[in-house]
Amino acid sequence: MLKRGHKHTLCESDTSSEDEDSSSSSARRPNKQSRLSIDLKSKDLSDNEDGGGGWDVINAKEQTDETGGVANTNTNYSVFAQRMMKNMGYEEGKGLGKYGQGLVDPVEASRQRGRRGLGLRLEGLEASTNLNWDGKQESIFDQLDGRELQRARSRSNPFETLGKLFFQNRAALKMANMDCVFDFMFTRPKNEAGETLIGPEDLLYFADVCAAPGGFSEYVLWRRKTDSGGFCDAKGFGFTLRENDFKLHDFFAAPAEFFEPHYGINGQEGDGDVFKPSNITNFVKFVRTTTKGKGVHFMMADGGFSVEGQENIQEILSKQLYLCQCIVALGIVRTDGHFVCKLFDVFTTFSVGLVYLMYRCFKYVCLHKPNTSRPANSERYIICKWKRDDVDNVYRYLFEMNERLIGLSSSMDVTELVPLEHLRAEKEFFDYICTSNDEIYVTSP
């Protein structure tokens, strides 16, 4: 098995008898054209600790033959090849042909890549002999063809080979990955004492917000069906944009009958816009009523939208989406319940302040990037474990901030939820955010 960093070495074997036979036979067959002595200059393999080292360049020294020709000792080419080229009129530094019009330099290897135009070269993507690493050139891959970028992205992450398995999309595998990493805290919820949160006659209640077409929910229903021996003892609530609706007809791994979409105002007739305060209020009321006032055991949120060409400010563009998903979670997750939500970069005071408020509303918070998440993007997930009892004040505060964002003009914005001085004062939390950003950045090229 080959290992990175190991050199291939030549191994000597005991061939002394064969060497003697070959040398004696060669003595009986004198070379009529030339007598060539090969001087193999090698490192002393016996002194090399790893038994390797490899051979140095083989230099050929030709003695004067019967024709009086002497080979050039400053080249690695064969003596016979040099003589053949000389007979064809070759002169060093000139091309072949009557007027020396032949090629002098070696034929360059093809640089054609994918479906680019013949001879097209993209500045910044060609190999350079003088390589200076510049970490700020994050947009250089925007020049790549879509097909080339997709192939490069697939090769950068071995987990891409998993595809979607028997689920409708790759999102289901992300949820499966996180559920397994955190000891199945979502599909088999327990309290701090290790006791299950699902009674013998109860269902597992969960919510899937901004997560169409429904890969997360499909995994949860499949897991509960598998664990219970074929019967799905779970009930899911969906809340997403109607124009990007759940594809319940694609739930092949689990029964879609145990999942109920809701779109805010007027239930099935709403638009599902999570930014609208009225939609949030109606969905929270619907879930609490259906679960007899207890709420769901956990909520998943996987919201996102296209930011093509603006990837470097994706965090700023997604701030209100972060906020609204957290508002819904605080409104419907029951005490000791869990919450998982997709984030991107967590650099701004607004994002860090929102994570801090989740840290105060749940007993444990973690920023995690699953293996099935593509390493070339800034995607990560906030995992919140065991919701505290009294979080109504935070819920109302965030709800008010969302209303304020909606009412502001384009020239105004809410830049922070928690003062920066207060965040810095929470040293343990602040250090964790910095460390998390450093580690996720290092593992995401």
Q: Domain ranges in the chain?
A: 165-442
Closest by CA position to 367, among listed 440, 444, 445: 440
DSSP structure string for 82-99: HHHHHHTT--TTS-SSTT
Distance, CA of 156 to CA of 50 (rounded, Å): 32
pLDDT under 50: residue ranges of the chain:
1-71, 73, 445
* Under 8 Å between Cβ of 337 and 296: yes
Contacting residues for 172 by C-beta, under 8 A, at least 6 apart: 164, 165, 215, 216, 218, 219, 222, 253
| Cβ neighbours, 10 Å, residue 363 | 13
Please give the distance of CA 361 from its chain centroid, rounded to a whole number.
30
- Spell out the alpha helix ranges (H) of 211-366: 215-227, 277-290, 314-317, 319-332, 349-361
Distance, CA of 185 to CA of 178 (rounded, Å): 9
Tell the CATH topology of 165-442: Rossmann fold (3.40.50)
Q: Is 32 a residue of the active site?
A: no
Question: How confident is the model at residue 145, as a pLDDT?
Answer: 74
Strands 259-262 and 234-239: parallel
Question: How confident is the model at residue 294, as a pLDDT?
Answer: 94
Question: Residue 22 is inside which H or E element, if any?
Answer: helix 16-28
Question: How confident is the model at residue 269, as a pLDDT?
Answer: 80
* Under 8 Å between Cβ of 158 and 208: no
Evaluate if pTM is beyond 0.85.
no
- Packing angle between helix 392-407 and helix 349-361, nearest 10 degrees? 160
Output the CA–CA distances (angstroms, integers) from residue 425 to 266, 346, 434, in the order listed: 45, 18, 14
Distance, CA of 355 to CA of 383 (rounded, Å): 10
Distance, CA of 340 to CA of 283 (rounded, Å): 18
Tokens of 46: 């016996």
* Under 8 Å between Cβ of 343 and 407: no
Which residue in 179, 273, 302, 345 is the catalytic one?
A: 302
Contacting residues for 15 by C-beta, under 8 A, at least 6 apart: none
Which residue in 174, 225, 369, 387 is the catalytic one?
A: 174
Cis peptide before 419 (omega within 30 of 0): no
Closest by CA position to 330, among listed 368, 290, 299, 365: 299
* Under 8 Å between Cβ of 259 and 266: no
Output the CA–CA distances (angstroms, integers) from residue 320 to 94, 170, 247, 354, 404, in the order listed: 69, 25, 25, 11, 11
Distance, CA of 149 to CA of 152 (rounded, Å): 5
Which residue in 225, 235, 319, 342 is the catalytic one?
A: 342
Q: Is 302 a residue of the active site?
A: yes
Q: At which residue do the structure tokens 């013998």 appear?
A: 200
Closest by CA position to 432, among listed 355, 362, 343: 355
